Amino acid sequence: MAIEQIKMPQLGESVTEGTINQWLVSVGDKVSKYDPLAEVTTDKVNSEVPSSFDGVIKELIAQEGETYEVGAVILTIETEGGGSAAPEAPAAPAAEASATSAASTPAPAAAAPVAKTDNGGARYSPAVLKLSQEHGIDLSQVTGTGAGGRITRKDLNALIESGNIPKAGAAPAAPVQETAAAPAAPAPQAAAPKAAAATNVPVVPGDIEIPVSGVRKAIAANMLKSKHEAPHAWTMIEVDVTNLMSFRNSLKADFKKKEGFNLTPFAFFVKAVAQALKEFPMINSMWAGDKIVQKKDINLSIAVATEDALYVPVIKNADEKTIKGIAREIGELAGKVRSGKLSGADMSGGTFTVNNTGSFGSIQSNGIINHPQAAILQVESIVKRAVVMDNGMIAVRDMVNLCMSLDHRVLDGLVCGNFLKRVKEILENTSKENTSVY
């Protein structure tokens, strides 16, 4: 027999952590290679983690609802053979064996869940916070044995077993050394759990409390990271797309009949953005601490919403595709999102985001940048408005606002203004005479 580890996989480029949304197996279940083991949520995608082995589930190390770094061990599987075992030690007498604690055979080490802070500002993993609340442990009085003095779940379990639980005002407790020489002392009656730190929202009869899903937690974490790290600036430009809409409307019926999918106005906007990014490559950049990385490929993330989540699949090398090719990919990616078939590969590699907020009737919005990209463009609703023309005449035109949020560490107003000006020129010159969708 051999014990094999399953680790948190990297489910997309720049993905560094994932949340165990739901276990699909239990301890003792027999699994085959490629069987799904868990549903994992990241800030980019929902995905299933497959088994890499045939065997029996030995231990579920990760907890549902907790977030773990890529590479953390989340469960172990017992397989037939295939592993090198250490030489067997002589069998211990029955009495001694019964006195040996389970801790004498260490479980495979899993990386700690992503740390959270308590009210004092110190950082602890969710498991440590939960355990301390359940047993009334004052974490400020605990000396950790982890890297850099970090308190681990193992530290707290040892304290609980020893009965030496530090309360507020006590001297810091030294780490408890585990021993197999004698049975652990029985754990004392657990103290009443303390309330977890949370926003105090009054709930009255008739209110509905909705649990936060793994997808929603991942979205919240990424949006918070983006807003905290990137100094957002915002700018907007108004575009006359009358000729574009006339051209598209003249084609859409025959195009749908011939190609089998829709020719949407959004495809024209995505193509214009891709073209302008080639001319202003600084917009297609990312902040990397001590340097700015200007990306070679133009991979456009497009926002697609479901009832309870927002996904950003990617059109790879959008600058090399025709309007027809972009329209096809928009339809295919949106279909994958709504059918739950979007993969990690579909979500990876994005360098700039284009969001079709106008599909909801919005005429002006301030988007949060899709970290670690440097900007996001919101395409608002196309509306008919009376506009004063160059000759002084008033005409009804199809107008749209393009709203851009930018990371001011990477981009300044000049380059963003020129970029938007170029997008405007491309769109306003889109017509039957100047443009081909093929």
Report how far apart, in Å, the C-alpha atoms of 224 and of each of 228, 262, 288, 349 are: 6, 35, 18, 21
Cα–Cα distance, 438 to 424 (Å, whole number): 21
Find where tokens 């024209």 sit: 268
AA identity, residue 369 = I
C-alpha closest to that of 398 among 255, 173, 227, 245? 245
From CA 156, how far away is CA 112, in angstroms rounded? Answer: 14
Q: Which two tokens stand for residue 396?
A: 């009804």
How much helix, strand and coil, in percent to the nearest 5, is found in the chain?
30, 25, 45
Separation of alpha carbons 402 and 411, rounded Å: 17
Inter-residue contact 235 to 406 (CB < 8 Å): yes
Hey, what amino acid is at 281? P
Catalytic residue among 54, 118, 319, 408: 408
Q: At 210, which amino acid appears?
A: I
| CA 399 to centroid of chain Cα atoms | 34
How many other C-beta atoms are found inside a 10 Å radius of the C-beta of residue 398?
Answer: 18
* CB 411 within 8 Å of CB 375: yes
Query: What per-residue string of b and e applies to 285-294 under the rule 16 or more CB within 10 Å gives b?
Result: bbbeeeeeee
Please confirm, yes or no, whether 412 is among the known catalytic residues: yes
The strand pairing partners of 2, in sequence order, are 79
Between the CA atoms of 332, 333, 334 and 338, what dihedral angle is there, to the nearest 10 degrees? 100
> Annotated catalytic residue: which of 254, 297, 308, 412?
412
Does the annotation mark 408 as catalytic? Answer: yes
Q: Quote the distance between the C-alpha of residue 191 and its chain's center.
A: 36
The answer to whether 164 touches 173, Cβ cutoff 8 Å, is yes
Strand ranges (E), 84-170: 116-117, 123-124
10 Å CB burial of residue 80 (0-12, 13-18, 19+) is: exposed
| Interatomic CA distance for residues 307 and 339, integer angstroms | 12
Hey, which residues are catalytic here? 408, 412
